[in-house]
Chains A and B, each alone.
Chain A
Amino acid sequence: EVQVVESGGGLVQPGGSLRLSCAASGFTFSSYWMHWVRQAPGKGLVWVSRINGDGSSTNYADSVEGRFTISRDNAKNTLYLQMNSLRAEDTAVYYCARDGDSWYWGQGTLVTVSS
């Protein structure tokens, strides 16, 4: 069974950093593009970033370019999102998703940026 499970969310002050993780199982992790998508409280879905199977190609939303870094460790079947210079508007539930004909989503992890 395909599973992706996010972790690492929490409360962080503006300007701070946080690293999210996404543990994958049930599929050949290195064969798939992976994505991060976020959803601010009461708002819609916003795509954040993606990375290819071997980690050599990445894309970012303009709103996070230069502050967030997506990466992966295929030996550990884990996807990461390093978030620096966090702002209040980065407060959201962050979802990890596996690419493919149909995307598989995790349950999300909440990041709150507040003083």
Chain B
Amino acid sequence: DIVMTQSPDSLAVSLGERATINCKSSQSVLYSSNNKKYLAWYQQKPGQCPKLLIYWASTRESGVPDRFSGSGSGTDFTLTISSLQAEDVAVYYCQQYYSPPYTFGQGTKLEIK
């Protein structure tokens, strides 16, 4: 199984500042035949289902504010929120969908400092 490890487990950032969440996979999730990275980022607020933010590691889902961006290589990925807003307080998860079981990171709790 591919193990997904996020860092940090929790993060406190001031409003308007940059927030960065990291995700590392135990093996590459880059599929060489199509050069796509099978990595997604989700945001989950209390009592709600996960909301897709980013797929293919760097493609923003329709309707997601452009302050959210994703980047990374075959095993190391980053979710960046360029200017933190109050509504961004949530838990964020990365997920690999390269091969089943489609594992998630343990989550990063983002709060306002």
Name A residues whose Cβ lies closer than 8 Å to a Cβ of B. 35, 44-47, 50, 59, 61-62, 95, 101-103, 105-108
Contact = CB atoms under 8 A, between A and B. Distances in A.
Interface string B44-84: 10000111100110010110000000000000000000000
A62 B106 CA distance: 18
A99 B53 CA distance: 15
B25 interface: no
B21 to A, nearest CB: 14
Overall SS of chain B's interface: loop
B55 A102 contact: yes
Contacts of A50: 100, 102
**Residue with the greatest number of chain B CB neighbours at <10 A, chosen from A95, A103, A108:** A103
A101 to B, nearest CB: 6
Interface string B86-110: 0000000101000011111111000
B35 to A, nearest CB: 15
B40 interface: yes
Contact of B104 (A47, A62, A107): A47
A53 to B, nearest CB: 16
Interface in B23-55: 40, 42, 44, 49-52, 55
A101 B54 CA distance: 10
A3 to B, nearest CB: 12
Closest 7 CB pairs of A and B: A59-B100, A47-B102, A45-B104, A44-B107, A105-B49, A61-B101, A102-B55
